[in-house]
Every structure is written in structure tokens, then in C-alpha cells.
A and B are shown apart, each in its own frame.
Chain A
């Protein structure tokens, strides 16, 4: 190369470079064309050097997706397992015949409250009016049964009425949804005592139980008293109860299969110690 052509070539290349630089900075489409052309030409060489074959990439990404799905499944299983352990650890199913189910669908009812669908049904031994509990306490009762699923009326749904005992003294009463216009907090339930008494705020509310455990098994935590309405000369004592179960996050539950008593109870002494059974 002659001594004159070198600076000329350099100048030419420099001008071309500056043109491209300014073009790229100003966002000219030609710059992107150069980029994609460079990628098209050099890309295969880079892929070869990196040791990646297209088929290998596809296989690896498929494998990756599979493993990810597996990991999701396992973590889901772990979650269910931990909820199950919590459920068993809480003791609500101890000594009872129970089927473990999971929520597979939920529906918000227009008239208030909600209903859930569980993945257990008549083939699992679930019958209408079985009690549904979670680790925290009472969830609701089964209102309809299909072969493999069942529908649950949640506590606090319209027309649900639960006979309860309140506090250590075991005051008798009922828990029903708050009547329309009767309260601002939709998560609360209305408590009505069956006889005069003075429940305290914070008292535990448990189910009273029904004959044969239908629709509610006895002794299951329902919630806590959060307020007692002031006594203004009324006959009945009323108040508000907050359910122990968070209705929004119900997942793994146990359905308590009611078992009718077949054996008569043994007579104990003069029968004074017997607990009354009220349905």
C-alpha cells in the first residue's frame, strides 16, 4: 500500500464510522439492519463455539419446563401436606371419622355468604349435612353431594344457623349471619343467646352439636365473641362473633362423616353426670 492511499482510506473509513455512529445515535433503521445482519452472519459461529446445538436447546428448555412444573407440583404438595399436618395437629378430627378434602371451586352467592366445592363426594363417604372443619375451626356443612365432589355452605351463608355454646360456662345460643342492614362488618356473625346470661368479649364459641352429628358435630371452635350488645331491657342477649376460619383462604379441610349411635349409652349411677344432648 502506498503512503498516500493509507491516510485516504483511513479518512474514508473514519467518515463512514462517524456516519454510522451518528445514524445509530439518531435511531436510524439502517443501524438496526446492520445489527441484525451482523447477528445473522456471526451468530452461527458463536453458537458453534459456545457448543450449543439447536436441538439441544429445545431439549434443554423442554426439560427445564418439565422440572419447573415438577417443582411447582411438589411445592403445592408440600403446602397441602403442611396444611394437613396442621389440621391433624389441631385435633379437630381426633376420634372422628373424617375425610380430607381440598377446595376445588368457590362461588360468591348473591344473597350473601359463599359456597365451596370440595374434591370429595359420596364415593368417599361424604353425606349431606356432614360437618366441614379446617385447622382453625368450623368451616360449614355439606349441602349437596355428587359422586366425587360436594358443595359446602360456609358458616355465615344466608340461612345458616348453628347452635352454639359460649364461653366456659357453656351458655346456649345460636349463631346466624348478621341480618341485612344489621351491621357494617360482613365478616361478623350474629349471636343470640337462648336464655339470659352475660357472655364476655373474647369468649370462645363452640358448636353445640346435633343428633348424630348432623349437620354440626359438637365441640368444634366456631369463633370468638367480639362484642355484646348493650342490655336495654330486652329478653334476649345478642352479640357479634368473628369466625375462627378465614373464609378467603380455606384450602385443605376435613369432612367429618356423621356416625349415628348404634349402641345405647350405658347407665352411669343415677345419670346425674350425663351431658345433655341437644339437637
Chain B
């Protein structure tokens, strides 16, 4: 794999997003259910521009980063698989022509629901119960953050590709 500025930025974004989600935002007093899934937003932004295979790959890698940032998920790897699926699904929203602003958002909503389902399933399996309100709060927070962050990420991605830095 050829290292590129875009690749480096992706890694930086995913790692800082994971740290933001696990440490900084809760520390700043954001209630845990309202912490947006910033990693998922990054995965979706990359996937909608390049397709399902790329989305799955980025999702899997980003999922592992998020998984390994303590607290490490249990069972380990499930989150990575969920994000891989979410990335693949988001990638299927790709369109070769310049997409509308709405398309990445729809992909984010679908991917968000997918991740939510995966987490709910693992919660039901592990704890025998599910806090539906908290899950919906997370989804709402993710979509809300996506409204701002996703267009920015997509624009940056496109600009870097246009300048042959991706």
C-alpha cells in the first residue's frame, strides 16, 4: 500500500475520533449515550466515495482501532465486524457521478442503524437486556454530528483526490 496524505489523515482521524469518543467527550461531561460515533462517520465518508470493498476494509481497520482503545470491547472483534458491515453497506451508496449532499447522510443513517443493531444484539447476548433509549440517543447524536462532520470529511477527501494526494 502506497502511503499517502489521505491515508495518513484517515489514520489520524480514526485514532483521534476513538480517543475523543472514549476519553475526551465523557470527560467533558457528555453523557455516554450522547457521544456520537465519530469513527463511523469517518468510515462512511470514505466508503460512499469508493464502494463496498473499500468501505468494508476501512470499516474493519477503524473498527479494530476503536476496539483496541480501552475499554476493549467484549467479545473482542465484534465491533470491528459490525463496522466492516456498516462500511460495506455505506459503500453500496456510492455513485460514480458527483453525489448529492444527501447521499452520504442516508448512508450514515443506514450504517448507524446497522451498528446499533449489532451493538444491541451483543448487549442482549452479553447482558440479557437493552437500553433502547440510550441506543436511540447514540444514533441521534451520531446523525446530528454527521450533519456537520460528514460533508466536511467528504469535501476534504474529494479535494485531496483532486490534487492527487489521495
Contacts and interface: CB of A to CB of B under 8 A. Distances in A.
A34 interface: yes
Secondary structure of the A contact surface, majority rule: helix
Nearest to B76: A24
B114 interface: no
Interface string A1-35: 10000110110011001101100110000010011
A17 B81 contact: yes
Nearest to A46: B23
A49 B27 contact: yes
B147 interface: no
Interface stretch (A37-45, A249-257, A263-271): A37-45
Contact of A14 (B24, B60, B72): B60
B57 A17 contact: no
Nearest to B72: A35
Interface stretch (B61-69, B99-107, B135-143): B61-69
A50 interface: yes
Using C-beta atoms within 8 Å of the partner chain, give the interface range for chain A.
Answer: 20 to 34
Contact of A1 (B2, B68, B70, B78): B2
Using C-beta atoms within 8 Å of the partner chain, give the interface range for chain B.
Answer: 20 to 34
A20 B76 contact: yes
B137 to A, nearest CB: 23
A233 interface: no
Contacts of B60: 10, 13-14, 17
Contact of B61 (A13, A20, A21, A34): A13
Contacts of B77: 17-18, 20-21, 24
A182 interface: no
Given A6-B53, A21-B81, A50 B72 contact: no
Interface of A: 1, 6-7, 9-10, 13-14, 17-18, 20-21, 24-25, 31, 34-35, 38-39, 42-43, 45-46, 49-51
Interface of B: 1-2, 19, 22-24, 27, 53-54, 56-57, 60-61, 64, 68-70, 72, 74-78, 80-81, 84
